Amino acid sequence: MDIQELKRKIEFINSYKERVNIMEVCGTHTMAIGKHGIRGLLASNINLLSGPGCPVCVTPDHYIDYIYDLAVNKNCLIATYGDMIRVPGTERHISLEKAKALGAEVRMVYSSLDAVKLAKENLEKRVVFLGIGFETTTPPTAIAVMEAQKLGLDNFYILSMHKKIEPVMRLLLEDEELKIDAFLCPGHVAVIIGEDGFKFLEEYDCAASIAGFELDEVINGLYSLILDLKSNSTTIKNVYSAVVRKEGNKAAQSIIEKYFCAEDDYWRGLGLVKNSGFKLKKEYSKYNIEEVFPIDHSNLEKRKNGCQCGEVLKGKIAPDQCKLFGRGCSPESPVGPCMVSGEGSCAARYKFGNY
Ligand code: SF4
């Protein structure tokens, strides 16, 4: 998009005079909005809210306590993507980083198959891969289980913290306090579930567009939303069609369906959300670490350190409205996951300011 076209679209967005709440539910969008200074380009009535789109951030504290216990007390080797390492549990001293300092085996991996390789090389240990993320990262976890099966490994497990986007978007739309008028739908998830995966939004009086992550792609997404709001249209729009197909990625959908089923799951700040988690099907339970060491959910929301990540994730407060923001909580010394994660709303606000 050339600069004149970009300017024209921004002017059009700003010509909308009513207050409008537009939520993004994707950590990559949160970072893109900050990085490109998109808030600073928009009129103050165009209110961009960040929702529960960061996978690390939505994982509740008591899961971190559980993983810490697996590493420190249950002699498990934990294989994880990098962002999870510094996330604190119910107490600030509980984290995988701290577990590692105590001598526990915590390895950072770049793919789920690296975790299978670790299991193959450490047959005397239970190797637990932390499955985290939305529909986008669930297929690689399924592929890891498939590979462990193929290799006949008895020491490979997963902890599935994978989440479904639809139930939580419904929950947010039904929250009367939030009053969401439009969603900027997550481009990565849309690659998997397709345009059709967001059709449910048409049941609500809500505009929605699927957008990419570059400056012009986000502006295109917002432009499409304002067009719809002006014309009272609530048909889902796909402005990321070079990447997102109407039906999504059928192969990825079928591998999710083969290995996982939807169950009620816990989210930070949102509690137990019906059918919102991907859990391994019964026939693959030998790979489910929760079958070996059940998780205690009674610690949900036990944290009392002033962190308001739960409110930030619901879009009820902006990151800099948390009283610890920049005063006790910073990327160097994070109190909550939204400041730890490279896709967290607090980290984005800290790095880029309110722009
Ligand atoms: Fe939690 Fe820090 Fe964000 Fe406050 S600024 S909500 S303490 S992560």
In this structure, the residues whose C-beta lies within 6 A of any atom of ligand 1 are 307-309, 312, 319, 322, 324-325, 329, 335-336, 338-339, 346
Q: Round to whole Å and give the CA distance between 110 and 2.
A: 36
Q: How confident is the model at residue 304 (pLDDT cuts 50, 70, 90)?
A: low
Residue 229 pLDDT > 70, yes or no?
yes
pLDDT score at 338: 93
Q: Label residue 354 exposed, middle or buried (CB < 10 Å: 0-12, 13-18, 19+).
A: exposed
pLDDT score at 342: 83
Ligand 1 centre from 340 Cα, in Å? 9
The DSSP element (H or E) to which 311 belongs, if any, is: helix 309-313
Q: Report yes or no: 154 and 147 within 8 Å, Cβ to Cβ.
A: no
pLDDT score at 235: 87
- Atom 5 of ligand 1: nearest residue by CA position: 325
Q: Round to whole Å and give the CA distance between 4 and 245.
A: 29
pLDDT digits (tens, 9 = 90+) for 239-296: 999 999 999 999 999 999 999 999 999 998 888 999 999 999 999 999 999 999 999 8
pLDDT score at 355: 66
Ligand 1 centre from 248 Cα, in Å? 35
- Atom 3 of ligand 1: nearest residue by CA position: 346
pLDDT average, residue stretch 132-145 = 97
State phi, psi for 301 to the nearest 5 degrees. 60, 35
Q: How confident is the model at residue 91 (pLDDT cuts 50, 70, 90)?
A: confident
pLDDT average, residue stretch 1-10 = 92
**Residues forming a β-bridge with 78:** 106, 128
pLDDT average, residue stretch 117-126 = 98
Q: Round to whole Å and give the CA distance between 103 and 204.
A: 51
Residue 103 pLDDT > 90, yes or no?
yes
Residue 320 Cα: closest atom of ligand 1: 5
Highest mean pLDDT of the ranges 54-63, 89-98, 121-130: 121-130
Which residue type is seen at 327? R
Residue 340 Cα: closest atom of ligand 1: 8
Q: How confident is the model at residue 94 (pLDDT cuts 50, 70, 90)?
A: very high
């998830």: which residue's tokens? 189
CATH class of 1-304: alpha beta
Angle between helices 3-14 and 215-231 (to 10 degrees): 40
pLDDT score at 302: 63
DSSP helix/strand/coil, 275: strand
State phi, psi for 210 to the nearest 5 degrees. -95, 120
Residue 338 Cα: closest atom of ligand 1: 8
Residue 322 Cα: closest atom of ligand 1: 4
- Atom 8 of ligand 1: nearest residue by CA position: 336
CA 175 vs CA 163, 171, 178, 197, 198: distances in Å: 19, 6, 6, 21, 18
Residue 142 pLDDT > 90, yes or no?
yes
pLDDT score at 290: 97
Across the chain, what does the average pLDDT equal?
94
Ligand 1 centre from 349 Cα, in Å? 11
pLDDT score at 73: 97
Domain ranges of the chain: 1-304, 309-352
